[in-house]
Structures are given as structure tokens and as C-alpha cells.
């Protein structure tokens, strides 16, 4: 992976190679962490973080769902992220804030373990590759079902929960595919290993609802709004597996999209939005002030 110079760790900027934790960190053993994946894009107004407050709000919600008090306010983490991007002099980057139960208490009761918070930023290209973004990817319906709300919390973006995505991803890669599509516990289409999913049929977009065990994706919210603004009908309803085969187009959001005329149109508007070329969605961008020498 590419590196940056500095990482924000418990309130301080530390050198990339010094951002370390103890091997008895609670989250390492039991998965007790919550995190976000965000991106900062180069725009004509400067580097801008896409829907930054919405991501941080989801981080705080994930933490609440796992009884984890984050010892900073949302605004403090927002400012810390700006400072970190500026200190690293990055114009475009991936952003990974994480809050986790740290060192000090082992065992399954995490409530006495301290909560630590880190934010890392680094340059990271398209998750499924530029080729995948431009031409699409091959995805396989996984033999693994997406975690369900009777044993975990699909609405939370929590570290331990990602073992589910990891199993599905490994299975798809070993099978010669690039991505996995997970069904929910009932056998309906749920999402990718790290992306929400959409089917286009007869000019309509269909995507699984909040109750299907999905993560409430920030890109999903944005795409639903952009589609509505473009006059494209979006249905949030259970999606049968057969509808993947019968679809005119299938696309994923979070990272990549498979080409097709309607997907392309959305991808174009979305790309303009991310890069500050769309006045309509300007308030989704949180512009970062860089030191003058980085501009």
C-alpha cells in the first residue's frame, strides 16, 4: 500500500511507522472496533471530503450500537481529519477513521477497555481497479450469507463483522472473480462484500431496502437522490436472485460501477459531484485548507 507521512492517533500526529498498538489490544482479539471509509477528492476549490459529516455520523452511530463512547466530538474528528490531510499535503486520498477498544482489559466484557481513536489517510486508487471502474467486474453470488440482524448489526460498520466480507471476498477471488455478491439470511440479494448493489430493469433502479441487512451506504443515499433528481425511478425492495440474471444492468456503489447506459449516466453525475463540478451537490463536499506550499 502507499503511505503518507503522518497518522492522527489519540489526538496527536505521529509518524506513519510509529502509529502502533499493543498486541493485547482488545479490538485485535475480539473485533471491537468501528470504522469508516471515506475519500477526499481533488476539486477546483481544493481537496474536498465527500459527505464528511455523514460518514462521521455513521461512525458515531456504529460506536453507539456497540456501546463504545468515542472520547472526541464529531467536530473534533472532522477538524483532525482536515489537519491530517493538510499536514500530509495530500490533494486526493482515502480516509480511514477507526475507534477501537484498546489495551488494558481482556475478556469479553469490553466496557473497561479504553477507547482509542486513529485516523489514517493515504493515496488509494479505485478499489476494484481503474479497469473495473471503466469496464466492470466479474462478481459471483457467494456461498456465504451476509450477517443478519439476529446475531450482529448490519447497520454498524464494525471491525469484527468484516470477517463475513473477508470470507466472501476470498471465495470469489479463489474462484477467479473480483467481487462477491452476498444474499441475506432469507435468500434475497443483499450487497457486495463492501458495496451496495443495484439492478436496472426497464429503466428502473431496484436496490435492497434497509431491512435486508445492508450497510446504509453514503454512496447509496447519494445515488438514490441523484437518480431521483434525474427523474429515474428507484425502488427499494427485496431483490430476488433471478433478477440479477434478468437485469439490463447491475452496478455496485461504494467503489465501482459496471457500465451500461443508465449506470454511465449516474456515474458521470456522481463523478462530477465528487470532483466539485456539480453546483447542485456542492454541500456534500467538505473542502480542506492546504498549507500554501502544497498548492
Ligand X SMILES: Cc1ncc(COP(=O)(O)O)c(C=O)c1O
Report the SS3 class of residue 229. helix
**Pick from 96, 79, 35, 31: which is nearest to 61 by CA?**
35
Compare residues 136 and 194 and give the one whose CB is closer to ligand X.
194
Compare residues 109 and 151 and give the one whose CB is closer to ligand X.
151
Single residue of 215, 227, 250, 274 touching ligand X by CB under 6 A: 215
Q: 61 is written with which cell numbers?
A: 452511530
Cα distances (Å, whole numbers) of residue 91 to 82, 112, 274: 11, 39, 13
| C-alpha 40: how far from chain center | 13
* Choices 134-142, 218-226, 228-236, 274-282 (CB under 6 A): range interacting with ligand X: 218-226
Per CB under 6 A, 25 contacts ligand X: no
* Choices 61-69, 93-101, 129-137, 189-197 (CB under 6 A): range interacting with ligand X: 189-197
Q: Give the total of residues touching ligand X (CB under 6 A).
A: 13
Cα distances (Å, whole numbers) of residue 66 to 112, 129, 193, 282: 13, 33, 21, 33
Helices (H), 93-212: 129-135, 162-174
Q: Is 48 exposed, middle or buried (0-12, 13-18, 19+ CB in 10 A)?
A: buried
Could you confirm whether 289 is annotated as catalytic? no
DSSP 3-state percent helix, strand, coil across the chain (nearest 5): 35, 25, 40
Compare residues 132 and 217 and give the one whose CB is closer to ligand X.
217
User: What span, in angstroms and rounded, lies between the C-alpha atoms of 61 and 221?
Assistant: 16
Q: H or E stretch including 253?
A: strand 249-253
Closest approach, Cβ 209 to ligand X, in A, equals 14
Per CB under 6 A, 118 contacts ligand X: no
Contacts of 166 by beta carbon, 8 Å cutoff, 6+ apart: 193
Single residue of 218, 224, 262, 266 touching ligand X by CB under 6 A: 218
Per CB under 6 A, 159 contacts ligand X: no
Per CB under 6 A, 184 contacts ligand X: no
Per CB under 6 A, 217 contacts ligand X: yes
Q: Which positions from 240 through 269 interact with ligand X, judged by CB under 6 A?
A: 253-254
Closest approach, Cβ 165 to ligand X, in A, equals 6
Per CB under 6 A, 78 contacts ligand X: no
Of 20, 133, 157, 174, which is the active-site residue?
Answer: 157
Pairing of strands 234-236, 204-207: parallel
Compare residues 6 and 266 and give the one whose CB is closer to ligand X.
266
* Choices 18-26, 81-89, 127-135, 190-198 (CB under 6 A): range interacting with ligand X: 190-198
Compare residues 142 and 253 and give the one whose CB is closer to ligand X.
253
Contacting residues toward ligand X, per CB under 6 A: 37, 165, 191, 194-196, 215, 217-220, 253-254
Catalytic residues: 157
Amino acid at each position: 500500500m502507499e503511505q503518507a507521512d503522518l497518522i492522527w492517533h489519540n489526538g496527536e500526529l505521529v509518524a506513519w511507522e510509529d502509529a502502533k498498538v499493543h498486541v493485547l489490544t482488545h479490538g485485535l482479539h475480539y473485533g471491537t472496533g468501528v470504522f469508516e471509509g471515506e475519500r477526499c477528492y481533488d476539486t477546483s476549490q481544493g481537496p474536498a471530503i465527500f459527505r464528511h459529516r455523514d460518514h462521521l455520523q455513521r461512525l458515531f452511530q456504529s460506536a453507539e450500537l456497540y456501546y463504545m463512547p468515542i472520547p472526541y466530538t464529531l467536530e473534533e474528528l472532522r477538524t483532525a481529519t482536515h489537519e491530517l490531510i493538510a499536514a500530509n499535503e495530500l490533494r486526493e486520498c482515502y480516509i480511514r477513521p477507526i475507534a477501537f477498544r484498546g489495551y488494558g482489559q481482556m475478556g469479553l466484557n469490553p466496557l473497561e477497555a479504553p477507547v482509542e481513536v486513529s485516523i489514517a489517510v493515504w493515496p488509494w486508487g479505485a478499489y476494484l481497479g481503474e479497469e473495473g471502474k471503466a469496464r466492470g467486474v466479474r462478481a459471483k453470488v457467494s456461498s456465504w450469507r451476509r450477517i443478519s440482524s439476529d446475531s450482529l448489526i448490519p447497520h454498524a460498520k464494525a471491525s469484527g463483522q468484516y470477517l463475513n466480507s473477508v470470507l466472501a471476498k476470498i471465495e470469489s477471488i479463489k474462484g477467479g472473480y473480483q467481487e462477491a455478491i452476498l444474499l441475506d439470511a432469507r435468500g434475497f440479494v443483499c450487497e457486495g462484500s463492501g458495496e451496495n448493489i443495484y439492478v436496472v430493469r426497464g429503466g428502473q433502479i431496484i436496490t435492497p431496502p434497509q431491512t435486508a441487512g445492508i450497510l446504509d451506504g453514503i454512496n447509496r443515499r447519494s445515488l438514490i437522490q441523484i437518480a431521483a433528481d434525474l427523474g429515474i425511478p428507484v425502488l427499494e425492495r427485496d431483490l430476488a436472485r433471478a433478477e440479477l440474471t434478468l437485469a439490463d444492468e447491475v452496478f455496485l456503489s461504494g467503489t465501482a460501477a459496471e457500465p451500461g447506459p443508465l449506470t454511465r449516466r449516474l456515474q458521470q453525475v456522481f463523478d462530477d459531484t465528487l470532483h466539485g463540478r456539480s453546483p447542485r451537490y456542492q454541500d456534500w463536499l467538505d473542502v480542506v485548507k492546504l498549507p500554501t506550499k502544497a498548492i
